[in-house]
Every structure is written in structure tokens, then in C-alpha cells.
Structure 1
């Protein structure tokens, strides 16, 4: 790899950040396909492919908002907040659900499958970033909802790993501060 390519890769990684309010344009089918290909190249022990994606197109956001709200109806959440959830899908022109379907495997425990799913999602976000789009990966009470899991055809043990909101940043985001790696990296010593 050339230094220019390495620099671009590192810039994409270090500058990726969550953007809370997104506007059009969103990726087209070809751009999304490229992001899904990058996502599914993530580390995956025994190639179980535990991560699935569900696209929520722009014109289905209202119906998806109703599903989210209804999925929380039997919880102890404040009814006003439950009603607000209906509008969450309108924070971006495109939403993608990331689902983790856990499999029983003698050599791949569930936690490895969950870690793999996280790597898949990060690759997805980075590919979107490299293509000029912004995103935010959200979870929260709705991702824990068994009613929503059921509506999506998931088993109780499976995970709604997140709702990924995708579009274009509606304002310029300041660059992230450089991280001092010395605070997070050490060298092991047997002494």
C-alpha cells in the first residue's frame, strides 16, 4: 500500500464520528452494496456470519416508527417518550438495522459472535464514511425490546445490535482530537 492510501485509510478511521442529525442524500443501492461487502469482510470465526442487515427505506420510516413505539408500549417507559420514538426514524433519510443471530457452535461462543457483529458494523460505518456519508449507531431501550425482536423474526437470545442512521451531515463536524495512545497501550512484561 502506498503512503497516500495508508494515510487516507487512517484519516477515514480517525475522523469517523457519530452525527446525530442527518439529511439527504443517503447512499444509493450501489453505495450501500459496497458498504455491506466491506462490513461482511470483518473477522468471523468459522464464517458463521451472525450479522444480518435490514434496510428501512425513506418511505417506510413512519411505519417503522410506529413499530418502534408499539414495541415499547408494554414497558414502564414514560408514555410521552414512547410517543416520541415514532419520530426517531426521521432523524435520517435511511436506516439500517443490524441484527445478531446467535448460533450454537462448539468452537465459537456467543461472545465471539457478538464481537464479530461489532466488527461488521464498524466496517459498515467506515465504508460509509469513506464514501462521504455520515452515520450514527444507536441502541437504547428499543433494541432490548422482545416485542421488536419478535416482529423482526429474531429469537429471544438474538440481538438488535443497533439501528444505524445514515445520510449526510447537516453541518460541518470539527475534527476529532488526537488520542494519546499511551493512556491505552502498554507492553507486557513477565518480570
Structure 2
């Protein structure tokens, strides 16, 4: 698949099953991530990979965080099972560094670009993926359990695996509908 086709046909794949990416595929995914624009070469990101038991650990963290805000068993159980929707979940974290010319927001955008590049590398290798956020990406308990610093921010959870079912390609939207000239 050529790059333009990949960019124009990209879409999320919410139903994922094993196998997870191979080591070679994962290496490609991570290498794509670190090729994104990175003002001043700060590498303001970290990728926390969960597979196997790691998915259960992440689920326990999600459930514990949910327990802090709710005593509804259904919500807690749902949070615990969320990482089990795929054979691999990569938590993409913006690791903000103090810099006179590169504000935190720009570093968070760079980490977001890394997540997008990772997702594109997933699709380019015939895998499926979906980038999820939600309240747990901003939850301080989740951050603490993942050993993140106060200035760090989760920009997303990238769920990766093999598509469980073929995904129908969505119609291409016309980008000019969202653009204007000055």
C-alpha cells in the first residue's frame, strides 16, 4: 500500500483479536513513532506496552481508578476488561520537558503525532488498531500507577491486534470543506 492510499483510507479497527504484532512489526511501529516532528529533538514521549499479564495489570489499574469515583460494580468490571479488547495496548505518554522554545502543548502534540504514526504503521503492516482516550487518560491515579510525573500526560491508549472482522472503508470526506484561504 502506498503512503497516500494509507493516509486516505485510514480508519479505526475496534474489534481486535490475537495475534498481537510480532517483534519485527512492533519495532516498525515504534520506529515510525520516533520519526515524527520533534522540535529541538526533545523526544517528549514514552510508550508503555501491555500484552499478556500486562493487559490484566492495566485492567486492574483502570478498575482501581474507577473505584475511586464510583462504587458501581458494572462500571468497575467494564474498566477492568477494557485493555482485554486487544492483544496489545500501548499507552502513549507525553513526557514534557522544560524548554525555553518548546512549550508543553507542542510536546504533547508531538506525542500525539507519535501515536498517529504508530497507528499508521499498524495499518501499513496489515494489522488493526484504534486510538482511545477517555477519562482514564487524565486520571491522576492511573498516572501514579504508571509511574508518570505530574507534568506527563497520557495522549492515548493504542489498542493493536488482528482485525476480528473486515472493516468497511468509510467514504472519503472532502478536506476542502474544512479549509479556507486568507
TM-score w.r.t. the length of structure 2 is 0.94
User: C-alpha root-mean-square deviation of aligned residues, in Å?
Assistant: 1.5
**Structure 2 unaligned regions, length at least 5:** none
Residue 141 of structure 1 corresponds to: 135
Does residue 39 of the first structure (1) align with residue 33 of the second (2)? yes
Residue 17 of structure 2 corresponds to: 23
- Report the secondary structure of 1:96's partner residue: strand
**Structure 1 unaligned regions, length at least 5:** 1-6
Which of 106, 121, 129 is matched with 2:100 structurally?
A: 106
Does residue 176 of the first structure (1) align with residue 170 of the second (2)? yes
The runs of at least 4 aligned residues of structure 1 exceeding 3 Å deviation read 76-79
**Greater Rg by CA:** 1
Residue 4 of structure 1 corresponds to: none
For the 8 Å contact 1:138–1:164, the answer to whether it is kept is yes
- Report the secondary structure of 2:68's partner residue: coil
TM-score w.r.t. the length of structure 1 is 0.90
Segment of structure 1 superposing worse, 66-75 or 86-95: 66-75
Following superposition of structure 1 onto structure 2, how do residues 44-83 of structure 1 map, counting pairs within 5 Å? 44-76=38-70, 78-83=72-77
Following superposition of structure 1 onto structure 2, how do residues 153-164 of structure 1 map, counting pairs within 5 Å? 153-164=147-158
Segment of structure 1 superposing worse, 150-159 or 45-54: 150-159
